[in-house]
Amino acid sequence: MIFCTKKNRLFFVLFAIFLSQNLHARELSQYSSTDLISTIESIIIKENKPKKDTVELKKRLAYLEKSSSKASSILYHALLANGFSVYFDKINKRSEFYYLKSIEESKKLNDPSLIIWTQLNYSKYLYFYCQIDKLIPIVLKTMEESNKIEASEMILPEETFKFFGWIMSTVEDNSAIVYYKKSMQYMEKPSSEYAGVLNAIGNCYFRNKDLTNAMRYFNQSEAIALKIGDSVRYAKILGDKALVYEKKRNLKDAVSFLKQDISYSQKFKIDKNEMYASILLAKILLKLKNTFETEKILERAGKIASSKSYYRSSLKEIIELKLSILNGENPGKELLLRRQLKQIEEYLLKTNGNTVLQRSYWLIQKKKYENDTNKIRLELEQGEKIKIILILISVLTIVLSLITYSYLNKKLHTKKIKLENDRLLFEKKLNDASSDINTYAEYLKNKNKQISILENELEEIKNSSSIYQEEEKIKLLEILNSHLMTDENWNAFKREFIKQHGDFYNTVMENFPELKESNLKIIMLQKLDYNNYEISSLLGVTVDAIKKSKQRLKKKLGDRYELLFEIIDYK
């Protein structure tokens, strides 16, 4: 009996897991395009720090693999690639396969947001393992593609722009600060990420030898790190501030800050930061001729640098410092170090050494130059063609411009008189004692017709080649603005509306006291059977603005939104 109970429990647990995965698999495919990006972002953030257990990761992501949504499949392969990256902790074929597969699938789907994110996801992997030479062309392409869409259409725009900042900073391009500041617009403040970007901007200014701005940004970053209790970020900032003090030749304070940085790094087991801080401290201690303490620090830093293949540039610095300490006094040890140094230099020439960085910088500058050159060439070609055409038609242009101006001016004057007469006629009707909401409805319908006529006229003038088009456009815009719903007209309309639909108005206000005047305008006009286009024309806004206003109202009212429209339809 006990055995059967256990079997039943096991069956129900397995069934629940299966059912949960199937429900998840259906979930992503059912999201609207508006919510899809935020849904994808939440999944990415949840899987931001995968563990080394790839089997468990596959189980956790199974609902994405089983989903019929193509976006789910792309996400599955990209996140699985990240998982294998953490598992192997180096460049590996499994990660490469899934990264490239996710990029390929996103291109087939032709979704710009997913194309940019999958390429960025792959780029982070290449950056982390110092594959700079391979990375730069992909990043340049991704940057170019990101310029073609709005930031609101990107997946995690803050991460995207921050990464572009990293790359430009790595190759010492001044555009890094621009990207960093752009990423801050989409970050939560205060947060560790925000503090990190401030710190990164400080480093950019430091490289440009602007110590004042560098320290200003380091201090801002430090204030946020202390406020939110981010000790890890605080440790890194201390190390960066030490660089400023060193440049100012205040070596004592620089040593103090770096020792604090190392202490925090050891406490929180941040090996990479400890290694960097140790190298900086060793360089300063050598200036102070404290070789004993320098050797001790380099020994520990060397163990960290030897533990990862992608720390070899740091290991190169450590060996060079050790050689400077030996200064030819121990030929045997020096020979071993120089052999080791040669091997590392050969490796770095193919990955992230100065040669690669210089070539990467050259690629970026070359891309900029090509873009500028192509732009200038096209402008020159177009200029030559235009010059020939202008010589041939210059006389015709003058004559046609005069004729067009005369025609448009006469047409505009006639139309202005007609529209003004119509407006005065209807406003006279409104001032009559017999005016009611039906008169207003008729008045507003007429306004919509007039607005439509004016908009068509504006479009014609916009497409006209007349040199006087801007003058005519200004005149038409003045007339158009006079036909839009003014505050005075709205108040008069509202009074008449309440007279005829008082019960409806009172019901709405009793049940929805939080409604703003802008909401009431849309609700009252909708009660009179005006569609979104007609409402937008009267209020002088776009149809999208009306739709978004309704969406915000729906979000604000929640379940009561349906009740509001029941009242509109039936009250």
Do domains 1-155 and 230-352 share one topology? The answer is yes
Looking at residue 450, what is its pLDDT?
62
Measuring CA to CA, which residue among 160, 165, 231 is closest to residue 198?
A: 165
Looking at residue 220, what is its pLDDT?
95
Give the mean pLDDT of the chain. Answer: 78
pLDDT of 94 strictly over 80: yes
Instruction: Say whether the peptide bond before residue 190 is cis (omega within 30 degrees of 0).
Output: yes
Looking at residue 434, what is its pLDDT?
42
Looking at residue 347, what is its pLDDT?
76
Domain assignments of the chain as residue spans, ordered by start: 1-155, 230-352, 501-570
**C-alpha to C-alpha distance for 255 and 86, rounded to whole angstroms:** 34
pLDDT of 476 strictly over 60: no
pLDDT of 505 strictly over 80: yes
pLDDT of 88 strictly over 60: yes
Least confident of 49-53, 159-163, 258-262: 49-53
**C-alpha to C-alpha distance for 354 and 358, rounded to whole angstroms:** 6
**C-alpha to C-alpha distance for 296 and 304, rounded to whole angstroms:** 13
pLDDT of 194 strictly over 90: yes
Q: What number of other Cβ atoms are within 10 A of residue 452's Cβ?
A: 13
Angle formed at CA 540 by CA 535 and CA 545, multiple of 5 degrees: 70
Looking at residue 227, what is its pLDDT?
92
**C-alpha to C-alpha distance for 13 and 7, rounded to whole angstroms:** 10
Are 207 and 187 a contacting pair, CB within 8 Å?
no
% of the chain beyond a pLDDT of 70: 72
> pLDDT per residue over 116-171, tens digit each?
999 999 999 998 887 877 888 898 899 989 988 998 889 999 999 999 998 888 77
Are 165 and 186 a contacting pair, CB within 8 Å?
no
Looking at residue 130, what is its pLDDT?
77
Listed in sequence order, the residues at least 6 apart from 412 whose beta carbon sits closer than 8 Å to its beta carbon are 457, 472, 475, 476
**C-alpha to C-alpha distance for 335 and 332, rounded to whole angstroms:** 5
The pLDDT-based confidence of 447 (bands split at 50, 70, 90) is low
Looking at residue 278, what is its pLDDT?
92
More confident site: 81 or 362: 81
Residue keyed to tokens 């190392």: 262
Mean pLDDT, residues 202-206 = 93
Listed in sequence order, the residues at least 6 apart from 168 whose beta carbon sits closer than 8 Å to its beta carbon are 174, 175, 176, 179, 364
Measuring CA to CA, which residue among 220, 216, 222, 214 is closest to residue 238?
A: 222
pLDDT of 226 strictly over 80: yes
> pLDDT per residue over 278-319, tens digit each?
999 999 998 888 888 988 999 998 899 888 877 888 889 899
**C-alpha to C-alpha distance for 306 and 488, rounded to whole angstroms:** 77
Mean pLDDT, residues 35-50 = 83
Q: How many helices (H) and strands (E) in the chain?
A: 27, 0
Q: What is the CATH code of the structural domain delimited by 501-570?
A: 1.10.10
> pLDDT per residue over 516-559, tens digit each?
888 888 888 888 888 888 888 778 788 898 888 888 888 888 88
The pTM for the full model equals 0.55
Looking at residue 27, what is its pLDDT?
52
Looking at residue 1, what is its pLDDT?
41
> pLDDT per residue over 369-424, tens digit each?
455 555 555 666 666 667 677 777 777 767 666 676 666 666 666 666 665 665 56
pLDDT of 86 strictly over 70: yes
Q: What is the CATH code of the structural domain delimited by 1-155?
A: 1.25.40
Looking at residue 15, what is its pLDDT?
46
Looking at residue 429, what is its pLDDT?
54
DSSP letters, 480-536, are HHHHS--HHHHHHHHHHHHHHSHHHHHHHHHH-TT--HHHHHHHHHHHTT--HHHHH
DSSP letters, 174-229, are TTHHHHHHHHHTTS-SSSHHHHHHHHHHHHHHHHTT-HHHHHHHHHHHHHHHHHHT
Looking at residue 202, what is its pLDDT?
94
pLDDT of 270 strictly over 70: yes
Mean pLDDT, residues 261-276 = 89
230-352, superfamily in CATH? Tetratricopeptide repeat domain (1.25.40.10)
Q: How far is CA 103 from CA 90, 113, 116, in A?
A: 20, 11, 9
The pLDDT-based confidence of 21 (bands split at 50, 70, 90) is very low
Residue keyed to tokens 């009252």: 524
Looking at residue 3, what is its pLDDT?
39
pLDDT of 464 strictly over 80: no
Q: Which of 73-77, 351-355, 363-367, 472-476 has the highest mean pLDDT?
A: 73-77
Mean pLDDT, residues 35-61 = 83
Two tokens, residue 94? 């499994």
